[in-house]
Structure 1
Amino acid sequence: MSDRSVMPAPLLYYSRVRATLLPRYIGLAIMAFGVLFIALALAQRRIDFLLVPLVMLPTGAFVGFMTVTVRVDQQNVVMDFCGIFKRKLPRDQIAMVTTDNAAGINGYGLRYMGPGMVGYLVGGPEISIEMNNGKTVIASTDRPELLISILRARTARETG
């Protein structure tokens, strides 16, 4: 039986953004080369050619189908890249929130962008969250203005 007192907090914001067309096409092209090497290995009866598709197919799938998920509840902002790399930011430690609507300007993927700055990027509009400790996290999201209004509403209530 489940205990109702341990239920997760309701989400105030949820966004799951998929990669833009450029990384999708690149990922599908990598996967196509992997399939080509499978056909080549079968045609020439060479098992050593199968090593290339073992690397190319998962790599292409990762690049072509990468996602960034942003979830906001009462206490935390959780950013998640491909369900593998996650970062939890306490909402009471957020100093400033801004947006950048330039698609793909910072690249794609999990990015180290300098000291204290990490990006979870798949192209499209981005949100930049600066923490009280000086660290910054940038993430792709589909509705950055809504996310900013949700995060600013809480800080306005706490200070006012």
Structure 2
Amino acid sequence: MSSLQHFANLFFQDSSCEFMPFQKLKVKIKPEIITFKVPDLDMSNTGEYIKPEDWDAFISRSDVKVVDARNYYEVAMGSFKNAISPNTNNFTDLVEWIEKNLDKKDLETPIAMFCTSGVRCEKSTAYIKKLGYKKCISFARWNN
């Protein structure tokens, strides 16, 4: 794989097993890593990033709306104090929740989104910004 241009910088790790661990290899091409179903979403216009050491102070502010972008069963394991849970079954449900529950009259309210790996907060803050909200914060760990 390292001889192919697109994989030249990929870290490859090899391991072996004494038995066949999988019946067959199946590779599926998916249009999205985590399905959101928002056409023409500008992923270069995501929320601002906040450092982990600044997160608690930021979400403690009374003017900040904190939204947990995870599904209901993930939220059930725990969340941040005062975070709003959209109570979604899957990530695509978040679009409808945003449209019904975020006040479009108050586009200046800071909205802080968080999730597990960062993909959902990236997509959801891009969507919120597309709707016209000015201050979107993404707690995406790889950007900190």
Taking structure 2 as the reference length, the TM-score comes to 0.23
Structure with max Cα Rg: 1
Greater fraction strand: 1
Taking structure 1 as the reference length, the TM-score comes to 0.22
Higher relative contact order, structure no. (Cα contacts within 8 Å, ≥ 6 residues apart): 2
